[in-house]
Amino acid sequence: MPQVSVCGSAVEFCSQSLLAETAAVVSKQELDRAPGAWVWDRAAIRACGDYAVDQGHRLVVERHHPFGVELAKRDLQPGAIALQLMDAVELEVEFPPFPTKNAEEADNGGIVAAEIKLTSPRLPSACGAPLFFGVTATALTGTSTSASTPLEVSGCSTLPYAPTIAATVTRISGEEGADLAVTISQPNPAGESATNSFEFGNPKGVKTNKVLAPCFKGSTCTVGTIVGSSPTLTASELSNGELTLAGAINSGDLSASITGAVTMSFAPPFQFSVKGPINVNEHTITFLDLPDFPLNSLTYTFLGVPAGPAFVSSCEPSTISGTFTPQDGGPSVKATGPVTNVDCPPPSKNPTASGSVSGLNAGKPKLQIHAHQGPDPARLATLSLVLAPGLHFSGKTLTTKTVCKGSGSHRKCKVHGLSLSGASIKSARLEGEKLVITFASPAAGVSLTAHAPLLRESSHLEHEAKKHEAGTLMTDVGLTDANGKRTELSVG
């Protein structure tokens, strides 16, 4: 656990008497309470001569740290910092009244010193940040005095850190569109380091819907909600989060890439916002510089825009991965969690396929195809591909860069620019614009990747891709099983 000290000792705050020279004693009052709105037991504070303390004193504890919220009440105001968080925490201590003279008409003396001990407060999980405590005391005469001292927190590197991630993909009835909910969790947030940043990507088979295109052309779109839970906050304080998307495409610059960010923000009473830059090529979102406070969970639900849901889904079984960096300066942690598909149509009785095309704006096209047999026990025997306009297979490469060994059922071939997992290639040939691949033996599922020199791209398509005007390229996939049954699909 992090340890805290002020000027090398335990947390103590002392102020000299502003009322008299004679000594008086104030007993210690230990706060054995959970963080929150504490109530002091006034009977524990007494002066010499058995007279109750008369003057009310106010002790203000200031911790100049973006999330010093666990040491006091929740009625704080936003500070002038980037995340619009609190910049101070207040503890107000009122002493019972006491006379300035005792029964023998002697000077009562007043308060010489007061000690406050905070038991088990939630400390920052990032050590080394400049933190301070300040104390202000006000006398009966109205005179005030103040002092501050640095707060040193140590032991952050010993904190455990075990975040988890999971996702739920919910298909919208009657279409391929889907809502995506991603949940980041820490089962024991009070005893672990908080999260400084994290990154996650789309689950397999989940792609960005084209209805979000206006959000990258000058519009700021509200695309979802965010709900959190924390051991130090009420449920309502993290229940009103919003996700917005804004990006840009510079169609006049052929080398420009798509830029954008998803912003998570919460309205008052717990107001803050954090931007998450989007990596369009890797299909990831990264939220950086989160505030240092404990979270049980954050759930990001991407719902889309009025024109449609944020994503489309093929309802493939998959997992979701994330990379998390703790506040304590320790190494990043990778986590993989389950993806639950909801309201998906019944599994097809026919073989299925999915695919994508990438690298077009760089003149290095890459085609990826994944195909699987259906419930029918017959396995896949052949696969055929017909490309979208602007892409073609090189017949010369197929003729001169194919190497085959063996014969009959033992014949296996390798094609330069083509890789296949799940099966071996028995033959590969072009029938007009169609590439036909026969497997050495029937397979339950295969994954294919085609690239140069086999896969070629026209200069016109490369030009359109650099302007982000190529659109979605569809590939026609033909699957024939071992019984000769053929299934035609279109993927992209």
pLDDT in tens, 341-367: 999 888 777 888 888 898 898 899 999
56, 66, 6: which is closest to 76 by C-alpha?
A: 66
Backbone angles phi, psi at 399, to 5 degrees: -80, -45
**The pLDDT value given to residue 35:** 32
Q: In this model, does residue 11 exceed pLDDT 70? A: no
Q: 242: which residues sit within 8 A by CB, 6+ positions away?
A: 222, 224, 225, 226, 264, 265, 266, 267
Q: Which segment of 88-102, 109-123, 470-484 scores lowest on mean pLDDT?
A: 88-102
Contact 28, 115 (CB under 8 A): yes
Cα separation, 132 vs 62, whole angstroms:
7
For 289-346, how does the pLDDT look when each residue is reduced to its tens digit (9 = 90+)? Answer: 898 888 899 999 999 999 999 999 988 889 999 999 999 888 999 999 999 999 988 8
Higher pLDDT, 260 or 58: 260
CB burial of residue 242 (10 Å; 0-12, 13-18, 19+): middle
410, 413, 408, 407: which is closest to 425 by C-alpha?
A: 413
**The pLDDT value given to residue 112:** 58
Residue 107 structure tokens:
């000077």
List, in sequence order, every beta strand (DSSP E) within 89-176.
Answer: 116-118, 131-138, 144-154, 164-171
Cα separation, 127 vs 158, whole angstroms:
11
HEC sequence for 178-193: EEEEEEEECCCHHHCC
pLDDT band at 2 (very low <50, low <70, confident <90, very high): low
Span 414-419, mean pLDDT? Answer: 89
Higher pLDDT, 256 or 182: 182
> Of 138-142, 409-413, 436-440, which one has max mean pLDDT?
436-440
| Beta strand pairing call for 297-302 and 311-313 | unpaired
**The pLDDT value given to residue 120:** 64
Span 475-490, mean pLDDT? Answer: 91
Please give the angle made by the CA atoms of 389, 393 and 395, to the nearest 5 degrees: 135
Percent over 90 (pLDDT), the chain:
34
Span 105-110, mean pLDDT? Answer: 61
| Residues in the chain, overall count | 492
pLDDT band at 144 (very low <50, low <70, confident <90, very high): confident
Residue 223 structure tokens:
């695309």
Span 40-47, mean pLDDT? Answer: 29
Radius of gyration of the chain (CA): 33
Residue 204 structure tokens:
């397999």
Higher pLDDT, 152 or 100: 152
Contact 251, 464 (CB under 8 A): no
In the chain, what are the domains? 1-158 (no CATH), 159-342 (2.60.40), 352-491 (2.60.40.690)
Q: In this model, does residue 469 exceed pLDDT 90? A: no
Cα separation, 367 vs 370, whole angstroms:
10
Q: In this model, does residue 226 exceed pLDDT 80? A: yes
Cα separation, 197 vs 193, whole angstroms:
12
Span 210-225, mean pLDDT? Answer: 90
- Cis amide prior to 389 (ω within 30 degrees): no
pLDDT band at 378 (very low <50, low <70, confident <90, very high): confident
Span 452-456, mean pLDDT? Answer: 93
Q: In this model, does residue 410 exceed pLDDT 80? A: no
Q: State the DSSP code for 13.
A: -
Higher pLDDT, 430 or 190: 430
Q: State the DSSP code for 37.
A: S
The H or E element containing residue 395 is helix 395-400
Residue 316 structure tokens:
């493939």
Please give the angle made by the CA atoms of 201, 207 and 208, to the nearest 5 degrees: 95
Contact 473, 390 (CB under 8 A): yes
**The pLDDT value given to residue 92:** 65
- What b/e string do you get for 188-213 counting C-beta neighbours within 10 Å, with b at 16 or more? ebeebbbbbbbbbbbbbbbbebebbe
Average pLDDT, the chain: 76
160, 162, 164, 135: which is closest to 147 by C-alpha?
A: 135
Higher pLDDT, 473 or 131: 473
Cα separation, 80 vs 135, whole angstroms:
22
230, 300, 224, 226: which is closest to 266 by C-alpha?
A: 226
Specify the amino acid at residue 206: V
Q: In this model, does residue 268 exceed pLDDT 90? A: no
Cα separation, 420 vs 437, whole angstroms:
10
Q: In this model, does residue 156 exceed pLDDT 90? A: no
Q: 20: which residues sit within 8 A by CB, 6+ positions away?
A: 100, 107, 108, 109, 110
* Cα pseudo-dihedral 247, 252, 254, 257, rounded to 10: -10
Span 430-455, mean pLDDT? Answer: 92
Which residues face 154 on adjacent strands? Answer: 3
**The pLDDT value given to residue 296:** 93
The H or E element containing residue 488 is strand 486-491
Specify the amino acid at residue 103: A
Q: 184: which residues sit within 8 A by CB, 6+ positions away?
A: 163, 164, 165, 195, 198, 200, 295, 297, 298, 299, 300, 322, 324
Residue 350 structure tokens:
């026919």
Q: State the DSSP code for 210.
A: G
pLDDT band at 143 (very low <50, low <70, confident <90, very high): confident
Contact 20, 110 (CB under 8 A): yes
Q: Mapping DSSP to helix (H, G, I), strand (E, B) and coil, where does residue 42 land? A: helix
